[in-house]
Every structure is written in structure tokens, then in C-alpha cells.
A = this chain, B = another copy of it.
């Protein structure tokens, strides 16, 4: 109710502030008997980890997860899975000069107004550091999806105005992690990386788009009328820090089409029912139809810039401020595993709800 729980049957509740003692969470509703592959979970955390390349924040965190319950002899027991990740490299001093200043386009002002107080160190609860817990939950969800033949493939498809125009069918998803920006097109990836380096040197930041394709979803996931599958995926994406938009299937471009062009004709194929085109994005009437689910997520440029900015303090007095410390010039590379994690959480939740 207070907004820190996601999911209905397969739920994750998270806690933790950016510069607190630890972050962590509880995964509840996980079926028993799931084999837990700790190396895989850690590898997912490493994809999100700060300091993984020169185009992301240089905060040094091992992001090692400690599981405290719910797993016995490497298998889930059906009981809640508690886990923590201790913060190791907080540099709270980087924030001391800004204790009383509202950083532009950050959540300092709104948290203060809502709660009457906040942990000013590194954004506290509003920091994207919280997403580390989502990746833990998403990794366990992926282990379940894998057993069900479902795979999720997110990738950076746009940085600033550099946009990957290829249809996703023409991409090799196995190349996504072959470069530090996580774009499966090597050439465009280079251009994106150069762009990010450029804005970073200028003390600035840049936005972008992550695309995601889900393969192998069975027919029947989604609970109309309100919990349509795409509505829950959309909410999941919009809950990620810095996200400003979500579209699936034909999306905003599809509004220009006529129904006669947009409709996906049903065809019979190998004894099953498929569609000829897939403008629907794998979801019809809020329920998966067995085709690929694909969607796009818009990320705004990171708010922390290394430039002087005008703002006000908590008394409403005009002042100037400037970012200090270690920050991402572009959130996209590290957001790819977060998008996948949230998609995985939605899919597993709806797999269980459909039973």
C-alpha cells in the first residue's frame, strides 16, 4: 500500500536507501523446488553494477547479495526469500554541501514535502540504487521463466538522437552484452558510446530508449479488465527511475494506421494459431496471444550534471548548486538489466495468476 511491494502472487518488497547500511527485500510467493543458481543471480547484478565500465558511475560496490531464508540445499522452499546487499562505498560527504538544497529534477523537494524529512545522502530512497533489489528478484523470476521456455531480451536502441532503426528480427540478441552500452548493433554501439563520452566530458547527461522483446510467452497471461498484461508491464517500466514513456506493439506510430492495415490476420500454422503480422505486440484484449511481446521504454537524461545550476533551498531562497561525486552520464547501459528484471517479475506474476 505504501508502494514498496510489486506483484500480486509473486511479490517483491524492497527496502533501503542509497547511503544507508544495506538494501534488501523479500520475495514472497515463489514456488517451492526452484533450483537457485547463485552465479547467475550475481551475474545479473554485475550487469547493473556501478563501475562496470568508463561510461557509468565509478562508485565501487561489489553488490554481493546475501540470501537469509527461503532457500534450503539450493532450492526454494515456498517460504519467503529474504536477502540483503550491504552498501560498501557510500561517500556521504559528496552530499553534505547540498543538505538543504533542492537539486533540480531530483526528488529532494517532493520527498521533503511528502514526508516532512528525507535522507539527503545520495537521494536516499529515491536513488536508483534501490533497483539493485529488483535485479535480485528479477533474476529469480528469470530462473522460473527459463523453465517455462520464456526469454527476455532488452537492449539500448537509442541514445540521444542516435537511434537503432533495424527491426528487432534483424538483430542478434547474443551480441547485446558484447559492448558496454548494450546495443546489439556493434557499429551503432560505438557511436552511442562516443556520444556518452562526449556528454560526460561536458559535465552533462543524455537520455535514450531501451527496447525489449519477450519470446516464448504462452497464450493466456493477463487479467482484464484492469490488470491487462501490457498495463502491468507498462506500470513496471514506469516505476523505474527516469522513465518517461512506454509503448508496445505498434505504439505511438500505430495511431496513423487504418484498421485494415493494423489488424493482425490469424493463420493456422503447425496445428496452432498464429498471426501474420504482430502490430498487437503479442497481447490482444490484455492477454498474451503467444506471439513475441515487444515494447519500448523512454529514459530522460540523468538529473545530476557537473554544471552550475540555479535552484532554491528548503526555505525557498534562491541559490546555486553543482553536482559532486560519481554519477552516470547516461542511465541506459545499466538500465537494460533493470528493464529485464521488471519484465520478468510481471511475467512470473501473471504465469502464477493464470493458474
Q: How far is the CA of A28 from the CA of B11 in the complex (A)?
A: 14
Copies of this protein in the complex: 4
Contact with A284, one of B106, B234, B354 (Cβ below 8 angstroms):
B106
Q: From A48-56, A140-148, A176-184, A259-267, give the one contacting chain B.
A: A259-267
From residue 128 to 142 of chain A, which have CB atoms closer than 8 A to chain B?
Answer: 130
Scoring A residues 1 to 29 as 1 if CB is less than 8 Å from chain B, else 0, what string do you get?
A: 11111101101011111001111111011
**Known: A1-B11, A6-B226. Contact between A266 and B104, CB under 8 A?**
yes
Q: From A36-44, A164-172, A185-193, A238-246, give the one contacting chain B.
A: A238-246
Residues of B within 8 A of A150 (CB): none
From residue 234 to 260 of chain A, which have CB atoms closer than 8 A to chain B?
Answer: 234-235, 238-239, 244-252, 254-260
Report the minimal beta-carbon distance from A32 to chain B, rounded to whole angstroms.
4
Report the minimal beta-carbon distance from A210 to chain B, rounded to whole angstroms.
10
Contact with A266, one of B102, B119, B208 (Cβ below 8 angstroms):
B102
Report the minimal beta-carbon distance from A283 to chain B, rounded to whole angstroms.
8
Query: In the bound complex, do residue B256 and residue A239 qualify as a contact, i.e. CB atoms below 8 Å apart?
Result: no
Residues of B within 8 A of A116 (CB): 32-33, 78
Tell me the nearest residue of chain B to A66, going by C-beta. Answer: B21
Query: In the bound complex, do residue B226 and residue A239 qualify as a contact, i.e. CB atoms below 8 Å apart?
Result: yes
**Known: A22-B82, A205-B259. Contact between A226 and B300, CB under 8 A?**
no
From residue 206 to 225 of chain A, which have CB atoms closer than 8 A to chain B?
Answer: 206-209, 219-220, 222-225
Residues of B within 8 A of A222 (CB): 3, 110, 114
Query: In the bound complex, do residue B125 and residue A225 qualify as a contact, i.e. CB atoms below 8 Å apart?
Result: yes
Q: How far is the CA of A259 from the CA of B329 in the complex (A)?
A: 9
Query: In the bound complex, do residue B114 and residue A259 qualify as a contact, i.e. CB atoms below 8 Å apart?
Result: no
Report the minimal beta-carbon distance from A347 to chain B, rounded to whole angstroms.
15
Query: In the bound complex, do residue A77 and residue B224 qualify as a contact, i.e. CB atoms below 8 Å apart?
Result: no
**Known: A104-B265, A255-B298. Contact between A287 and B114, CB under 8 A?**
yes
Residues of B within 8 A of A23 (CB): 68-69, 82
Query: In the bound complex, do residue B252 and residue A115 qualify as a contact, i.e. CB atoms below 8 Å apart?
Result: no
Residues of chain A touching chain B, judged by Cβ–Cβ distance below 8 Å, are: 1-6, 8-9, 11, 13-17, 20-26, 28-29, 32-33, 66-70, 72, 75, 77-82, 84, 102, 104-107, 109-111, 113-119, 124-126, 130, 158, 160-161, 199, 202, 204-209, 219-220, 222-228, 230-232, 234-235, 238-239, 244-252, 254-268, 271-273, 275, 279-281, 284-289, 296, 298-305, 307, 309-312, 316-318, 353-355
